[in-house]
Amino acid sequence: MAINFAQTFKLFMTSIFVLALAGCELLEGPIEQSVLNQAIANYSGLCACPFSLDIAGNLCGDQSAYSQGAADATICYISEVTFDMITQYLASN
């Protein structure tokens, strides 16, 4: 039986994040930032987050989808990245 490096690596990385969510100090690293960046980039509007800029170059602030609680709002902070998001990100990258 051949060892599939990609599958083994994904399993290893998933295990690390399971440990992180169990209390190890591995959270808020580059994977979480990548998940967050991807989520914000995939938002279809201009004002995804309070720190996003509107078309005039001003901070969106309270006018952001996030602040308004819009149904299509994205996550805006690393603390909102979940284990499922990390797993999906690792599976697709």
Q: Which two tokens stand for residue 7?
A: 């599958």
pLDDT of residue 26: 46
pLDDT of residue 24: 41
Please state whether the predicted TM-score (pTM) of the whole model is above 0.85.
Answer: no
pLDDT of residue 22: 47
Residue 59, helix vs strand vs coil: strand
d(CA 25, CA 75): 22
The total of structural domains in the chain comes to 1
Residue 77, helix vs strand vs coil: coil
pLDDT tens-place string over residues 14-55: 555 544 544 444 445 799 999 999 999 999 989 999 999 999
d(CA 48, CA 10): 30
Find the domain containing 86 and state its range.
5-92
Please give the residue that has the higher pLDDT: either 24 or 10.
10
